[in-house]
Structures are given as C-alpha cells and as structure tokens.
Structure 1
Amino acid sequence: MISKQSISLIIADDHPLLLKGLFEEFKANNYTILGTAVNGMEALEQILTHKPRVALLDIDMPLLTGFEVIKTAKEKGSKTKFIVLSFHKESEYVAQAKALSINGYLLKEDSFSEIEDCIIAVLNGDEYFSKSFDAFSLQNASEELRKLKQLTPSEITILKLIARQITTGEIAETLNVSARTVEKHRSNIIAKLHIDNSSNSLISWALTNKNIVLDL
C-alpha cells in the first residue's frame, strides 16, 4: 500500500479559497505538499523544479491553462502523474484530456475521498475519470479520439492547418503540394471522421474541436 507521506504533490488553482481548502485537506491527511500555484506558468515551473509524483491542476488558469501546463511538462520529460480538477463536464474537454493522455480527470464537485481514490489509481498506472461522468460521455470522447488516430501524419498536419483557418491554397503552398492533393486529403479526413460532406463542414468541425486537434 502506498503511504500518503510518500505522495508528493503540487496543487494549482487560481481560486484562492479552493486552493486553500485543498492545501489544508491534503496537509491534514499527511500528504507531502511541495508547492501551490495560482497560475499555469507558476505551476509549470514548480512541477519541473520539484518533480512531484502527482500534480493537481485546474484547467482554466491565467498565463497557461492546465492542459498547456501538462503538454509542456510532458514535452520536457516530466514523469509526474497529472490530474485535472475542473468544473467542465463537456465532452470536448474530456476528449482533450484523453488526447493528452492525462492520468485523471476530476470535477470540483467530487469528494476528497474520490480525489484520494484517483491519486492511488493514477500512481498504480490506471486512468481515472470522475464517477460523475456518465459512461456515454466517456465512450463518445474515446470514439472521437479513436477516429482522429486513424488519420495519417499528412492528414493530421492538414487538419491542424485547417483548425488555424488556413485556406486550401495556403496549405498547398506551405506543404509544397498541389491544391488537388490538399482537397484529396480533406475528403479522406471527412470520411474518416464521419463528418457531413457539406460546404464548410470540415472547417466548422475543426474550429469546434480546435484544442483537441492541435494537441494531436
């Protein structure tokens, strides 16, 4: 069994009362708190400096979002287990968390005992999503991510450029290919993602799911 004192934590939230409450709850339960942060940049610096076993991060923070902190920390080789703690239940947030391979996703309405369950689960190498999520939401997010992973590297590159509102002609010029080749890739993307093949449907989809696409 993992002892609580051996679990080192960084906690980040831009709401002072929530941050204070979490800090005091963890302290009272004998966890080792290496630091707290009120914005994403501070959280990233502390994670890279102190190398906690677990970081609990709010998603909506100044300077860097929780997702941006996690992505950057992983790119820099961080071995920390990441848990996001948020008010957001929307499927696009769940899908983005899955795209980033985030270890845990909790809601701020969850009990402290569920936070502890999540910490133990992720330290044991498991993925943990709040019990408040219904099975359909998780399955739907996983299915969307599965479709995206069917795309080729070229298709992903083009989809990212579409999400940045780059035109077909500009994409062709950027990638040094013909506009016809770009259109062929667009057709393949639409088919693989099961998007309605109507005018601007792919652009609309890419903009709606921009954060997920850019994290691929």
Structure 2
Amino acid sequence: MSKLILGICGKARSGKDTFANYLIECFAKHHDVDVYRTAFADILKFMCKEHFNLSDDQLWGDKKEVVDKRFVLSEEENTYWTPRTIMQSFGEFYRSIDKDYWVKALDKHLKTVENEYVVITDLRYENECEYVKNNAGLLIRISRKDKPLISNTSHSSETSLDNLPYSYFDISINNDGSLSELYWAADNLVSNMIKLTEWINRKEKYNGS
C-alpha cells in the first residue's frame, strides 16, 4: 500500500504537535481514517531514554527545558544539561557520522507501517524535508511569532530551515490566532486531501473544488 506522508515543519513550540493532533482527530472523526503518527526524533528519544535514563516527561512531556543535575555541562559555570540539549547533541553526533542517519532509521520503520496516511511531526532539517518530497508527501510549515522561548535556540535543529523560501513548502500555516482557527485549518486540509485522494483513486483529474 502506498502512503501519503504529511511532514510538519516549524520551530520548537510553534504548534506542530497541536496541529498534528488536530489533523489526526479530523481524519478519524470526519473520515474514519486511522493515521499513523511518528517523528524523526522518536527513535532518538528512545535511545536517550535507554542511555541516559530520561523520563517520558523529559522526552515527550513538559520537562524538556528543566535542567537535569545528573548531567553537568560546566562545573566552572555550575550549569547542567537539559533533556532538549541532550537530545540535540545526541542527534548531532549521529548526523556527523551520517547526515541521513535519522532519515534512514525512520524510513526503515515506516516500511513496517500499513496505514495509508502518515504524519511526521518534527521536520527540522532539509534532508528530512527532501525525504517527504521524494516520497510524494506534503510539507506543512507552522509558524508562530509569540512562541515560548527554549534553550539553545541557535542549534541547527532550530535554524536549518530558516533560509528556505515559503514556496518550498506545500502549505504554510500561521499559528498566531486561536486554537479554533488552527483546528479549522487542519479540518480544511484534511477535507481537501480526502477529496483529492478519492479523485486520484478514480484516476480523474482533481479540479480543486
């Protein structure tokens, strides 16, 4: 079965996960479609959980920015690693050996998934975007001006897509409004995608209506 991959891009706390939740809810509620949700960072997080004994709250929850005093960053400055900086450094180490390491890892995993629709919630690098494009997927960019600050905002995982033009992405969504507006954007996207898929399956030309 061929898959339609939706790749969501955006900086930390721009609303990627919230939008992904809305997308999946709209697929299920309105179209009875079961969407497989994943992330390039999921495999990395499981590895960090095993190697550093990080908790689910530190990896997937709201403690990514809380320092973990088990891991000293600088004794002289009395600073410590946060789960986010641990994950960033861990991911960068593998990319320094093979820039496509995490892309290959996710691709291998997705070959075992049978769902027709897949949502990847955390595209941060151009090669991850190219993976979606090369698999005939859609790139969705989420932007938000008033997003909360995080640690290490200069890391490549937060800046590597900054210079890509908006035209590079298939869909750009401004998340400066209300949650209901974000939900509407997700619902509208899902409805159009279902319609497009139906036309393609009937081998007809989609006219955008």
TM over 0.5: no
Structure number with greater Rg is: 1
Q: TM-score, normalised by structure 1?
A: 0.33
Higher relative contact order (CA 8 A, sep 6+): 2
Task: Give the TM-score taking structure 2 as reference length.
Answer: 0.34
Greater percentage in helix: 1
